[in-house]
Amino acid sequence: MKKVIVTGATGFIGSHLVSKLVKMQGVSLTVLTRRMTKDLATLEKSGVEVVLCELSDVHLMKNRFRGVDCLIHLAGATKTLTEKEMFEVNAGYTENLLKSCELGTHFVLVSSQAVAGPAKSKDKPVTESDLPNPLTWYGKSKLEAENEVKEWGKSSIFTIVRPCSVYGPGERDIFSYFKLVKSGLSLTVGFKEKRLSIIYVDDLVNAILHLAFNVKPSGTTYFASGDEDCSWKEFSATVSEAMGKKGVIPVKLPEFASLPVALVSEFIAKMTEKAALLSFQKIIELRQDYWLCSNALLKSTGWKPEYTLQKGVDESVRWYRLNGWL
């Protein structure tokens, strides 16, 4: 029986990961969470151990981490009010987990493509051998977390997974494009085509589990992406087809026009003490032309994506409609 601990189980990716883990034979699953949810309460009744725990509580975690075979670390922040808070969550919590782990535990860090930064051209996606070039607080904090894992891994075992943009049932950021298409609009920022690597959540979860259980850990970093990249125009067209929505009007927002929107959004964020969806940090990401990465190294381990863009979008639209989001 393999003892597995997961952080971030209440998040978008984490909830999908846990759903698959509970169906796996020979796995004893523990979830670390700051708050109990209905979904976690249901999991607890099915035999999953749910531990209410702040990731700053090293003493409690050390007691729980004895005999753990694999820890999959998904908890983190993508939006915060300050850079300090971003580093405290993404790098600080990772450091605390590492302090709590016994040597020999396979530490799987789910990082981000943001660590690498954008590709220089559409023909040269970034690879694992490229030097990191993070542009945002998020990317820089994830890079620090990766470096902490690599330092700890000098005497233990680890794997780092860098997902690209992830979409699918329950996701909320890319979901904004689904809502726009429903309203009859297709929005792009800037007049130059911008392309991105993208992955359906089930493919990402399968990649994480594949690396955690089927590949001998060797301190390797892997990008996780689907086989298709796309522009936001192409993504919106795929969503439009999945919805059966015709006559969608394309709207191009000049890059400079996004700045006042971000200014207002940041002001509201400070007043409400809630991180802005469209912040200046997000504008930095949106202004890049090529968020492209290669999945060749990951595929060389025997993993391959099962979802085309159309299939993944179709599944997403179906879920959003069934759950009253669209």
SS3 of residue 135 by DSSP: coil
Interhelix angle 12-21/201-213, nearest 10 degrees: 50
Of residues 80, 150, 164, 76, the one with CA closest to residue 118: 164
CATH superfamily of 2-171+196-229+290-311: NAD(P)-binding Rossmann-like Domain (3.40.50.720)
Give the pLDDT confidence score for residue 270 in this predicted structure: 57
Domain boundaries, the chain: 2-171+196-229+290-311
Phi-psi region of 219 (alpha: psi -120 to 50; beta: other; left: phi over 0): left
Give the pLDDT confidence score for residue 267 in this predicted structure: 47
Q: Using an 8 Å Cβ cutoff, are 4 and 68 in contact?
A: yes
Give the pLDDT confidence score for residue 259 in this predicted structure: 60
Q: Using an 8 Å Cβ cutoff, are 279 and 266 in contact?
A: yes
Give the pLDDT confidence score for residue 277 in this predicted structure: 59
Task: Give Cα separations from 220 to 87, 105, 133 (angstroms).
Answer: 23, 15, 18
Q: Using CB atoms within 10 A of its CB, is residue 111 exposed (0-12), middle (13-18) or buried (19+)?
A: buried
Residue 97 half-sphere exposure toward CB, CA atoms < 13 A: 34
Element spanning 177, H or E? helix 175-182
Interhelix angle 175-182/232-243, nearest 10 degrees: 60
Q: What is the pLDDT of residues 87-126, one digit of tens each?
A: 999 999 999 999 999 889 999 999 999 999 999 999 999 9
pTM, entire model: 0.92
Spans of the chain, pLDDT less than 50: 267, 269
